[in-house]
Structure 1
Amino acid sequence: MRKKANNNLFNKGLLLVFCFYNGLIIQGHAQSKSFIKYVQPFSGTSASTTLASQHIEDKTERLANTIPAVAPPFSMTQWTPQTQLSEKKCLAPYYYNNKKFYGIRASHWISGSCTQDYGSFTIMPISGKLKTSAADYAADYTHAGEVATPAYYKTSLPRYNLLTEATASLRCGLIKVTALKADSVYLLITPNSDQAKGYIKIDRQKGEISGYNPVHRIYQGWGQPAGFSGYFFIRVSKVFTTSGVFNGARVSANQSIKNQKDLGAYLGFKLQKGETIRIYAGTSFTSIAAAKLNLETEINNAALATIVDRTNQVWERSLGQIKVNDPNEKNKRIFYTALYHAQQHPRLFNDVDGGYPQFAGDYTRKTLKKGNYYDDFSMWDTYRAQLPLVELLKPNLANDFANSLVLKGQQGGWLPIFPCWNNYTAAMIGDHATAFIASAYNKGIRGYDVKEAYRLMRQNAFQMPDSAQYLNGKGRRGINSYLKYGYIPMEDSIPDAFHKREQVSRTLEYAYDDYALATVAKDLGKTSDYKQLMKRASNYKNVFDQQEGMVKGRFANGSWYKPFYPDHREPYITEGTPRQYTFYVPHDIPGLIKLMGGEKILENELDSLFAKKEYWHGNEPGHQIPFLYNYTDSPWKTQLEVSRILAEEYSEGAGGLSGNDDAGQMSAWYVFAALGFYPVDPVSENYQLTSPLFKQAVISFNNGKKLAIKTIRKSKKSIYSSKITLNGKSLTKNQITHQSLVHGGELIFYLQDEPNKP
């Protein structure tokens, strides 16, 4: 019945009045959309329906937690339909199968995460009588007539006979509301504070609304002010006849309200059928005045179609850096959706004039001299593939990322471990800002203060902060134990962290970070540091029990933790099992092979992992595992397993991702693997090769060079490599260097149906 009613409304109202109009805005651009048409913004917004996800019993692990974000790549603010209230941790503002629509949210949700939204606000159009309680004004959410692209969103609200459209620039949004019949129309503007904080003010004379939603920390410093707010400045195109403020269902004629639960402002209009309201919204993390300047600079009074076209063009250029040619349209949709998801974060944090909130500051504004400042670095995840993808495609942007991390370290005193909401968090484990900076440095990305970068990375690796700073989230968790024993013993439970214990995983990841820093130390002539760090890079051996052939918990006296369950979640392992984490030695696979007893043992252990279905693609520490067969006599098994993962762990539609996308890491894995190479150790500049998914792909680099990747298959089912050539020369190893890729040319994979077995 509801579907029939919606169709009637659509036919009588939307088609008659607006079909031609929307054709001009959207369909008029269709011919120029070579790549954006493949993007599915709803992918990952409901429980996974991929083949691999069906054996996962915990349904929460089947949520990718992405949103249908409307914004250019790496924007300050993403604009999304809102089907979920609050900024609560692990609760995305949008889920595809939710039944209620609460407006368009200006969101700072970290795509594919289990963190928090922050500093957001929502604009909801309604008609008829004024309603200010979310339970009262929520509209039934239907996908009928809905359109979602990276540059544009449209939905009709049958309850209110309103058509709502949205588009965005880097820091601003434009929402257009059209009446499908004559009625009273209201705009509800709500800062989304869960803390009963915030402020909103109406200037009736100027037709402007402004306010802010204070940001609070989670993890270390949970609940404390983050030192900045999400500010907004809104201008509407039509004079409103009435206005006021509210908190929940309580309405007031006052024109401002502050620090009340469920606070907001309403604007009232009288609209005839076909009349529109354009809502121009600027955002900032420094001030209302800056939000206004951002709006005036980026959008001003531009038409919706103009901004849609601009943002389309930005995405076309960005997605078009990789041109895929293949008859399989489904795989192209999955690929370009992955490339879209891999370009959401880190988040732009500075205003158009260079102003940004000081890291871990107290509402202090800093100004950049050049470049842009970024935050929301999901570092436990993205250093593996998402940030290396940026280094490959957009090295200038990667340089801004590295410079932003250095600025954070200078302003806060310590290089942050996992900087989000512009503050220290100490979330997750490892010290992977070091891994990323080292990776960028080794690829020649060095347009930041290298000496300061090294000083800050070294400080994390060699020093323990004082107790107050440590409690605030600065420094490596458990660093004193790590330096004393060469591993973190079971006695150190890491009490001052969100992730407590997890001693073995921390040891393994710190060993990788020590190796990463060692590569920079060597290049800078820091010989003593280099020797110490390279010795520490072997600390993974201290938690490897050769009798078991796996990593295990270990006490300070050297004895091993018992009992040992290799395939169970153990307290000394982060989000995984000892068997899974044993393979996390990306910088020294030959050393791991020696510990295990030879290449054949490594191969057998990999075989066992996959046979037991212990490989878990939905979490990052295992993302390098399928490529480790390249270090054995059976690299064809890498080609087999990667091909299987591409087919089983990714699909299309709202359930198209198997697990949390984690700021684009899951998606970046797909992009790399589908192209035929992956950075098992991104610090090393080497990529492990596998079989490409597509017939042809052309990568355009910012140095003007292009790399054509061609796949010549013996038959449609061919996935095994018989020969790989780069510019006519055969590659004798199963790897390729970063410089070889960006130099350009032609990389050809010759594939056959059966593997070349030793």
Structure 2
Amino acid sequence: MIRFRVGLQCLLANLSVQLVSAQGDYTQYVNVFQGTTGGGNRFPGVVAAPFAMVKLGPDVQSGNADAYSGYLPSGSIWGFSMMHESGTGGAPKYGVVSQMPVVGNVSNPLADLSQGRASEDQGQIGYYKSSLANGIVVELAATERAGLYQYSFPQGSPASIVVDVSHVLPSFRGLGWEQHYSNANFTFYSDGYQGSGTYNNGWNLSPDWEIFFCVRFNQKPVSKKTFQGTGTTLTSYDSRDQVSGTERVGGVFTFTETNVTSRVGISFISSSQACNNLDREIPDRTSLQSLVDRAKSRWNNEVFSKVQISSANSADLQLLYGSVYGMFLIPSNLTEENPGWTSTEPYYSDQFTLWDLHRCQTPLFQILQPVAYEEYVRALIDIWKHDGYMPDARSSNFNGRVQGGSNADNVLADAYVKGVRGAINWEDGYSAMVTDAEKVPPNNNDPKAPDSSTKEGRGALPDWLKYGYITPSFTRAVSRAVEYSANDFGLYQVAKGLGKEADAEKYLKRSRNWRNHWDPNCSSNGHSGFVVPRLADGSFVAQNPLSCGGCYWGDAYYEDNPWVYSMNAPHDIATLKQYIGGDDKFVDRINKLFDLKIFNAGNEPGFTSPFLYNFVPGKQHLSVQRSREISKSYNSGPSGLPGNSDAGAMESNILWQMIGLWPLTGQTTFLILSPWFPEMKINLGNGRELKITTTGGNKDTAFYVQSLKVNGKQWNKTWVTWQDIFENGGTMDFVLGSNPTDWATGELPPSPASGDQ
């Protein structure tokens, strides 16, 4: 059994790697510590199945550093908790339902009981291990809604476990996004404890939400005490059976055994449901190893086996399967765990965020997990049906925050045009999209953007409907306008498909409104024409295209500058090329993103820009060249992501480049790049398969496309459609070489919003 250690991901380098298509255990290639440092913020703890509710791992404190996923590579562990997010920025979320082991009797359970590590943490899929400085070893395993803690205490002292229900991941950024503990209930019963904790705030500014827990010990404690207090001051610490209130509450369990096992179930519904989850998923005498084996089997059978490659390169194998793993840690499938309403529809929460994900994660989600993807789309619609709006982000069963547009619209449009039907009610889906497009959401008075709602919907909709652009009276005006255009293009696609001709015409016209921010006189580095702020009187605001101010919530551009946002009209590229000045200027505009070091591989708004060369005759090789440059920002190590994982956005980016395609969300178009492997097979379900082969070159030095056959026929376009290769499966056979050739002489990719210039 291979166990990765932080910083030692090269353990596999000495393995004799055979064709992965012949291997049964793909988990051996996954470094769970990939992307956990360097800003990646990925969660390395136990996630027993894709989209599991339980994400069990350590909570680490190190000065004033925010531990976004609970994990930091250095610092002291102050608890092991059941719920975390993965790859997010902003502020930490969750870190609830925690236990902390302590050597000896505990005089004050409210004191700092944290411990450093005696050695680096170890982990693999389904398993996590921390060795603490005081000699305690903690091993973790889990199922979807329950977790198992296995403690090994040093000989000679009592073994204690402290349960502090107020435990929650803090934030030290001072932005008002820190979580708060509200109150708790804690009750002993025969072989453990149960209760609930209530918390609020966090990055999505959620009001009070409650999580329930049910815990059983496999050993009998020699003593158990409840405690209550504020700060580090105890108001009670005795053997009462129950404590509750707004003070910190919990319990201390002391054992004489050196080996103690704790089984924990959680639920958003009730303690009894938490107990049901526990007893169903981790019954008494369940071994830790059996849970590890089960987790590996789930990931192998349900996810990793969907992608098979021929490769003897361990670094490529680790990057491929580690990235696939990182894609499906969140959202969380909370079906039957929805406290907000009763419904027979699936329910997913913990998404951060569709602003990050719609460009490339959700299109790959559909391909690799089509059943879950249909459920996910249904869940988005059901949230609208009961909460009033689809979420762009959602956590602790509450919408928020919206960074730009209402990008659930893009996700629904992408699903619709690619034929996702099943049990989806598309009339309801379209109504949910219309709500985003026509109904102004109530202002939630976010201190970071007080002009309009950051909870859901399109807060700047009043300007959008009145002017066809967004004035600086709304924060993030330009980036919102660019995104609202793409959102409206999504509505056009679904309206057209449903036969709503008047609506389709209206939203197609609105999808062109990004043009209303185009100032042809704004110039920078030999180029004229950029999207800039515009006042109510129609005049443009002077703008340096290399600057976006703070690039944050209160600015005109969010997380990128005018150079990048001016390339963000993938549904209207023909018009964009015309505005920029034709093919040559368009190519130079993309080149400048790199020459001027504007492009940031870790920033989602620029994800598609490097591949827009495919819209210019004879320039597809430049998209391939940029793809290979971007790939150098990735590896399978702890610092192997170029930015926040953002719930799999970064991982799906590199996966598409490995495949050799790039999706245009809301369209059936995929831009052709250059695959990495001699052979790749993607299982599309229902007996369908996409097989991609390469001959004559390699991914590192001879990667330019010389020729291509699609489904056995010679291909001369820089793009394919969903129907060509995914709908019924297909083949793509590439010949690669070390020098570019003008192989793609066919028609350019479609530009569906460019009919009216």
Distance in 2 between residues matched to 1:41 and 1:119, nearest whole Å: 19
Q: 1:298 aligns with which of 252, 269, 281?
A: 281
Give yes or no for contact 2:206–2:398 (8 Å, CA) kept in 1: no
The TM-score with structure 1 as length reference comes to 0.86
Q: Distance in 2 between matches of 1:525 and 1:510?
A: 22
Tell me the residue number matched to 1:171: 145
Pick the aligned partner of 1:399 from 374, 398, 403: 374
Is 1:558 the counterpart of 2:549? The answer is: no
What's the counterpart of residue 304 of structure 2? Answer: 319
SS in 1 for 2:685: coil
Aligned to 2:696: 713
Q: Is the Cα contact below 8 Å between 2:361 and 2:653 reproduced in 1? A: yes
Displacement of 1:260: 4.6
Quick check: 1:80 aligned with 2:57? yes
Q: Secondary structure at the match of 2:478?
A: helix
Shift of 1:519: 0.5
1:385 paired residue number: 360
Distance (whole Å) between structure 2 residues aligned to residue 625 and residue 280 of structure 1: 48
Candidates 88, 103, 106, aligned match of 2:82 = 106
- What is the distance in 1 between the residues matched to 2:707 and 2:392? 42
2:242 match: 256
Alignment of 1:314-713 (within 5 A): 314-317=298-301, 318-350=303-335, 354-358=336-340, 366-369=341-344, 371-446=346-421, 447-465=423-441, 473-490=455-472, 492=473, 494=474, 501-547=475-521, 548-569=528-549, 571-633=555-617, 634-647=619-632, 649-679=633-663, 681-713=664-696
Within 5 Å, give how 1:271-310 maps onto structure 2: 271=257, 275-301=258-284, 302-310=286-294
User: 1:698 Cα shift?
Assistant: 1.4
What TM-score does the superposition give when structure 2 sets the normalisation length?
A: 0.86
- TM-superposed CA distance for 1:103, in Å, is 3.1
How far does the alpha carbon of each residue in 1:354-385 deviate from its partner, in whole angstroms, 9 at most, with x for none? Answer: 24121xxxxxxx34425454442511111111
Q: Which whole-Å CA distance do the structure 2 matches of 1:69 and 1:549 have between them?
A: 47
Q: 1:730 to 1:217 in 2, by over 3 A?
A: farther
CA contact (8 A) 1:110 1:117 kept: no
The 5 Å alignment of 1:17-96 reads 34-47=25-38, 63-71=39-47, 72-84=49-61, 91-96=67-72
1:636 aligned partner, one-letter code: H
CA distance in 2, matches of 1:292, 1:77: 14
In structure 1, C-alpha distance between the alignment counterparts of 2:334 and 2:564, rounded to whole Å: 36
Q: Distance in 1 between matches of 2:90 and 2:56?
A: 19
Closer/same/farther in 2, CA of residues 223 and 671 from structure 1, 3 Å limit: closer
Partners of 2:280 and 2:682 lie apart in 1 by: 32
Confirm or deny: 8 A CA contact 1:128 1:184 kept in the other structure: yes
For 1:419, give the aligned amino acid.
R
Q: Structure 2: which amino acid aligns with 1:754?
A: N
Give the AA of the match of 1:138.
Answer: S
**Which residue in the other structure is 2:199 paired with?**
215
Q: Is the 8 A contact 1:218 1:425 kept in 2?
A: no
Shift, 1:121, TM fit: 2.0
- Distance across 1 between alignment mates of 2:206 and 2:455: 14
Q: Partners of 1:357 and 1:219 in 2: how far apart?
A: 20
**1: CA distance between counterparts of 2:268 and 2:694?**
47
C-alpha separation in 2, matches of 1:429 and 1:370: 28
Q: Does 1:141 align with 2:117?
A: yes
Instruction: Provide closer, same or farther for how the CA distance between residues 89 and 584 of structure 1 changes in structure 2, counting only shifts above 3 A.
Output: farther
Distance 2:381 2:62 in 1: 35
Letter in 1 for 2:542: K
- The letter for the 2-side match of 1:482 is W
- Rate the CA distance shift 1:418–1:713 in 2: closer, same or farther, 3 A: same
> SS of the residue aligned with 1:103?
strand
CA–CA distance in 1 between the matches of 2:248 and 2:638? 30
SS at match of 1:533: helix
Q: 1:266 to 1:739 in 2, by over 3 A?
A: farther
Task: Specify the SS of the correspondent of 1:549.
Answer: strand
SS, match of residue 67 in structure 1: coil
2:244 pairs with 1:267: no
From 221, 231, 242, give the equivalent of 2:223. Answer: 242
More displaced 10-residue stretch of structure 1: 740-749 or 284-293: 740-749
Residue 288 of structure 1: CA displacement?
1.1
Which amino acid counterpart does residue 338 of structure 1 have in structure 2?
A: S
The 2-side partners of 1:409 and 1:535 are apart by: 25
1:712-756 deviation line (CA, Å, top 9, x unaligned): 133661011111222321222111222333322432221111112
Alpha-carbon distance between aligned partners in 2 of 1:459 and 1:372, rounded to the nearest angstrom: 20
1:184/1:268 contact within 8 Å kept: yes
Shift of 1:621: 0.5
Which residue identity does 1:281 align to in structure 2?
Answer: V
Distance in 2, Cα, partners of 1:487 & 1:37: 51
Structure 2: distance between partners of 1:158 and 1:219: 33
Secondary structure at 1:183's aligned position in 2?
coil
Q: 3-state SS of the aligned residue for 2:593?
A: helix
Are 1:734 and 2:718 matched, yes or no? yes
Q: Which residue of 2 aligns with 1:181?
A: 155
Note the aligned Cα RMSD (angstroms).
2.4
Number of corresponding residues: 683
Change (3 A) 1:153 1:417: closer
Do 2:345 and 2:382's aligned partners in 1 also have CA atoms closer than 8 Å?
A: no
Q: The residue matched to 2:138 in structure 1 has which SS?
A: strand
Does the Cα contact within 8 Å between 1:213 and 1:230 map onto a contact in 2? yes
Separation in structure 2 between the aligned mates of residue 154 and residue 524 of structure 1, nearest angstrom: 52
Distance 1:748 1:125 in 2: 56
| Structure 1: segments with no counterpart, 5+ residues | 1-30, 48-62, 359-365, 495-500
The Cα offsets for residues 324-381 of structure 1, whole Å up to 9 and x where unpaired, read as: 221221122122111111001211223xxx24121xxxxxxx3442545444251111
| Structure 1 pair 89–522 and aligned structure 2 pair: CA distance change class (3 A) | farther
Whole-angstrom distance in 2 between the partners of 1:582 and 1:669: 21
Distance 2:23 2:621 in 1: 40
Separation of aligned partners in 2, 1:588 and 1:90:
40
Distance 2:242 2:99 in 1: 17
Whole-Å Cα distance in 2 between the matches of residues 117 and 68 of structure 1?
Answer: 15
